[in-house]
C-alpha cells in the first residue's frame, strides 16, 4: 500500500502553509479513493513523493528556477525535494522514496494498478 506525500505546501511538511489552490490537491482524492494513504509529514513510511512538475515548461524558465534555487532565492520543487531527502536521512532512513510527477497518479488510477515510477520521474530527477 502506498503512503504518498503530496507536495502541496509552501514549506515542506508545514501544514499551516498548505496551498489550497495547488494543482496537486485534487490528486489526494484520487489517491484516497484508490486505496492509497496521504502523508501530511515526511517520514520513513512515505513510499512516494509527488512533486509539482507544473510551471516551468520552457527551458529558459527551468534555467531561471534552477539558478534561483541554488542561490536560495526561490523555493522550487528541487530545493524542496532536497530538503525532503535531508529530513529523511536525518531520521536515519537511507532508502530514497520515489519522487514522481503528478502524471504517475493519473496513469496509475487510469490503468487500475501502480505504474512504473521510472516512467514518471519528477522533472528534477530526470
pLDDT in tens, the chain (126 residues): 899 999 888 777 778 888 887 888 899 999 999 999 999 888 888 899 998 755 443 334 444 444 444 444 444 566 776 777 777 777 777 677 888 999 999 999 999 999 999 999 886 655
Taking the C-alpha atoms of residue 112 and residue 126, their distance in angstroms, rounded to an integer, is: 25
- What pTM did the predictor assign? 0.74
Read off the C-alpha cell for 103: 502524471
Read off the C-alpha cell for 39: 502523508
pLDDT of 93 reads: 72
pLDDT of 36 reads: 96
pLDDT of 94 reads: 66
Read off the C-alpha cell for 61: 524558465
Distance linking the first and last C-alpha atoms of the chain = 25
pLDDT of 55 reads: 47
pLDDT of 112 reads: 94
pLDDT of 78 reads: 63
Read off the C-alpha cell for 35: 486505496
pLDDT of 51 reads: 85
Read off the C-alpha cell for 122: 519528477
Long-range pairs for 56-65: beta carbons < 8 A, 24 or more residues apart: 56/123, 62/123
Burial of 93 (0-12, 13-18, 19+ CB in 10 A): middle
Amino acid at each position: 500500500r502506498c503512503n504518498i506525500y503530496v507536495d502541496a505546501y509552501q514549506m515542506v511538511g508545514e501544514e499551516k502553509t498548505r496551498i489550497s489552490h495547488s494543482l496537486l490537491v485534487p490528486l489526494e482524492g484520487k489517491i484516497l479513493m484508490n486505496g492509497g494513504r496521504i502523508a501530511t509529514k515526511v517520514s520513513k513510511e512515505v513510499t512516494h513523493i509527488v512533486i509539482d512538475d507544473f510551471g516551468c515548461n520552457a527551458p529558459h524558465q527551468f534555467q531561471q528556477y534552477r539558478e534561483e534555487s541554488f542561490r536560495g532565492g526561490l523555493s522550487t520543487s528541487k530545493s524542496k525535494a532536497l530538503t525532503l531527502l535531508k529530513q529523511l536521512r536525518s531520521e536515519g532512513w537511507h532508502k530514497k522514496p520515489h519522487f514522481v510527477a503528478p502524471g504517475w497518479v493519473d496513469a496509475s488510477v487510469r490503468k487500475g494498478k501502480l505504474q512504473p515510477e521510472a516512467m514518471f520521474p519528477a522533472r528534477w530527477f530526470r
